[in-house]
Amino acid sequence: MQPKIEFRKVDFAYQTEVSVLKHVSFQVQPGQTVALVGANGSGKSTIAKLLTGLLTPNQGSILVDQTTLTPQNMAELRQRIGLVFQNPDDQIVGATVAENTAFGLENRNVSRPEMQRRVQMALEQVEMWEYRDREPGLLSGGQKQRVALASALAITPEILILDEATSMLDPQAKQELNQIIQRLQQQVGLTIILITHDLEMLALAERVIALDRQQVAFTGTAAELFHQEDLLMRMQLELPFSLQVQRDLAAQQVPLPANDLNEKELIAWLTKLL
Ligand SMILES: Nc1ncnc2c1ncn2[C@@H]1O[C@H](COP(=O)(O)OP(=O)(O)OP(=O)(O)O)[C@@H](O)[C@H]1O
Ligand SMILES: [Mg+2]
């Protein structure tokens, strides 16, 4: 299968002397959900900005559907990418939730009825349709993020990038957004990039790409990543609590029935043991 997204030896620096990305190469397959992880300042948001043409590489190339991004085709390619950022308040426009959701469709040659159809579809996907006439500024943080996601979905993107979209939300709102993302994963062909420090969100990804020291330091599954302890530490990522407990038990020479039990399995084993 041809990759949906490809970075080929991308170099990037904001200031000439400080390199942010050095020879960064990776591929994302169509329809896949990939998590992009790395310490603060490792260049995750920079990658999102390169992919959406807000920045251009100093060296190397970025391809979407085998087409190299250029200043000429950027505007067209960007229409196929939906973005949600960290801060809910940065993404509020318009007097109502519906207007906010329609915002990205203005100037896109979308007819009025089609616009209304897409706004309804997008707001239903994030369970915010009943809030369509509300003032977006008065919503909760989690609701604002769902509206921001609806705005990204209204453009019917092929690629959806969530850049720390849940990091300012409370656990309940986080979980709601994660459930919505899980439903979006069923949507055929939608490629999703989750930029995150959140372990629960990491669990949604089929593949994880980790950045460290200006480069891709790891690609693989989250379960594989949890065995790279030095890298996890450098990336300020903690192990899921159930794995941490198992490492501690193993360190005490407690024999475990299998490697990397999930939380349910661990509880089942512990309760039988006690
Ligand atoms: N506009 C800018 N001008 C100069 N340097 C910048 C700019 N934006 C980011 N940087 C620097 O580039 C590096 C990568 O930043 P980036 O925002 O991509 O990191 P990140 O991985 O998204 O971090 P975080 O987890 O904190 O969001 C950092 O060292 C940062 O200080
Ligand atoms: Mg960032």
Q: Residues 167, 254: one domain?
A: no
At 249-267, the pLDDT tens digits run 988 998 888 888 888 899 9
Encode the chain in three state secondary structure: CCCCEEEEEEEEEEECCEEEEEEEEEEECCCCEEEEEECCCCCHHHHHHHHCCCCCCCEEEEEECCEECCCCCHHHHHCCEEEECCCHHHHCCCCCHHHHHHHHHCCCCCCHHHHHHHHHHHHHHCCCHHHCCCCHHHCCHHHHHHHHHHHHHHCCCCEEEEECCCCCCCHHHHHHHHHHHHHHCCCCCCEEEEECCCHHHHCCCCEEEEEECCEEEEEECHHHHCCCHHHHHHCCCCCCHHHHHHHHHHHCCCCCCCCCCCHHHHHHHHHHHC
Q: Is the CB of 40 under 6 A from ligand 1?
A: yes
Q: Residues 224, 253: one domain?
A: no
Q: Residues 257, 205: one domain?
A: no
Ligand 2 center from residue 236 Cα (angstroms): 14
The atom number, within ligand 1, closest to the CA of 39 reads 25
Q: Is residue 264 part of a domain?
A: yes
Q: Is the CB of 20 under 6 A from ligand 1?
A: yes
> Alpha-carbon distance 196 to 164, whole Å?
5
The atom number, within ligand 1, closest to the CA of 197 reads 25
Q: Residues 110, 187: one domain?
A: yes
Ligand 1 center from residue 85 Cα (angstroms): 14
CB 106 within 8 A of CB 134: no
Q: Residues 188, 147: one domain?
A: yes
At 53-68, the pLDDT tens digits run 999 999 999 999 999 9
Q: Residues 147, 269: one domain?
A: no
Q: Is residue 114 part of a domain?
A: yes
Residue having the nearest C-alpha atom to atom 10 of ligand 1? 14
Question: 54 is in which domain, residue-wise?
Answer: 5-229
Ligand 1 center from residue 269 Cα (angstroms): 43
Q: What is the pLDDT along the chain (274 residues), one digit of tens a residue?
A: 899 999 999 999 998 889 999 999 999 999 999 999 999 999 999 999 999 999 999 999 999 999 999 999 998 998 899 999 999 888 888 899 999 999 989 878 889 999 999 999 999 999 999 999 999 999 999 999 999 999 999 999 999 999 999 999 999 999 999 999 999 999 988 999 999 988 889 989 999 999 999 999 999 999 999 989 899 989 988 888 888 888 899 889 988 888 888 888 999 998 988 7
Ligand 1 center from residue 88 Cα (angstroms): 19
Q: What is the CATH number of the domain that holds 113?
A: 3.40.50.300
Ligand 2 center from residue 14 Cα (angstroms): 14
Q: Is the CB of 72 under 6 A from ligand 1?
A: no
Provide φ and ψ at 210, rounded to 5°: -110, 135
> Alpha-carbon distance 148 to 56, whole Å?
25
Q: Is residue 234 part of a domain?
A: no
- Count: domains in the chain: 2
Q: Which ligand is nearest to the CA of 14?
A: 1
Q: Residues 125, 245: one domain?
A: no
Ligand 1 center from residue 164 Cα (angstroms): 13
Q: Is the CB of 111 under 6 A from ligand 1?
A: no
Q: Is residue 209 part of a domain?
A: yes
* Residues less than 5 Å from ion ligand 2, measured at CB: 44-45
Residue having the nearest C-alpha atom to atom 30 of ligand 1? 41
Q: Residues 217, 247: one domain?
A: no
> Alpha-carbon distance 117 to 112, whole Å?
9
Ligand 2 center from residue 85 Cα (angstroms): 9
Q: Residues 111, 58: one domain?
A: yes
Mutate which of 15, 18, 20 for ligand 1? The one with the most ligand atoms within 8 Å of its CB, which is 20
Q: Is the CB of 197 under 6 A from ligand 1?
A: no
Q: Residues 67, 102: one domain?
A: yes
